[in-house]
């Protein structure tokens, strides 16, 4: 039903930290090859929940998960707008045209991994996904839904994307 140039995916269990978060996120679409932008999310206790997705060994994880809010990363990457393999749909923006071109979000993944699937479709189109530390929100994870992953969700994600989720191109070398 949305009709704007951009679609904002936003959970109902978030609270803003940065007043200009949306302007910052949409501004990154000035870079022609950016297909999706995500924010940095914090748990209620101030630790990091999400600073991008990491897809490795067939699994999807959150970069920075559980780190303190002042964690800057080995190369100060947590303080930079940077390319990542994916972002959580708890707070993400995507051009409306691209969203429709790639078929939107999967209806067969109604709760979990629909954002991972969406991100991988964006990347498959050759578009970059960026996370910005200048758009920060609290995410009161699963306060408004039951948490947990169903087996069918994990199996479907693996069926579709196992090959692309083996080695994350943005994971630091060991």
pLDDT for res 73: 83
Helix axes 151-161, 114-124, angle to 10 degrees: 10
The one-digit pLDDT tens for each residue of the chain (174 residues) are 888 999 999 999 999 999 999 999 999 999 999 999 999 999 999 999 999 999 999 999 999 999 999 998 888 889 999 999 999 999 999 999 999 999 999 999 988 899 999 999 999 999 999 999 999 999 997 655 556 778 899 999 999 999 999 999 988 665
pLDDT for res 150: 81
Nearest to 61 by CA among 169, 165, 164, 151: 165
pLDDT for res 142: 60
DSSP-assigned beta bridge partners for residue 82? 131
pLDDT for res 61: 92
Q: Can you list the domains of the chain with their CATH numbers?
A: 6-165 (3.90.550.60)
């Amino acid at each position: 039903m949305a009709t704007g140039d951009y679609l904002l995916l936003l959970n109902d269990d978030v609270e803003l930290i940065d007043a200009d978060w949306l302007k910052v996120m949409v501004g990154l679409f000035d870079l022609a090859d950016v297909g999706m932008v995500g924010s940095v999310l914090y748990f209620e206790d101030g630790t990091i929940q999400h600073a991008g997705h990491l897809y490795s060994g067939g699994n999807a994880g959150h970069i920075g998960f559980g780190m303190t809010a002042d964690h800057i990363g080995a190369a100060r990457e947590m303080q930079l707008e940077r390319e990542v393999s994916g972002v959580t749909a708890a707070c993400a923006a995507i051009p409306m045209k691209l969203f429709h071109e790639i078929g939107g979000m999967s209806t067969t993944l109604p709760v979990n991994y629909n954002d991972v699937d969406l991100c991988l479709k964006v990347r498959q189109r050759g578009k970059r996904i960026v996370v910005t530390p200048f758009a920060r929100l609290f995410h009161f994870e699963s306060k408004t839904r039951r948490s947990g992953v169903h087996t069918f969700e994990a199996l479907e994600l693996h069926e579709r994307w196992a090959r692309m989720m083996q080695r994350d191109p943005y994971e630091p070398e060991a």
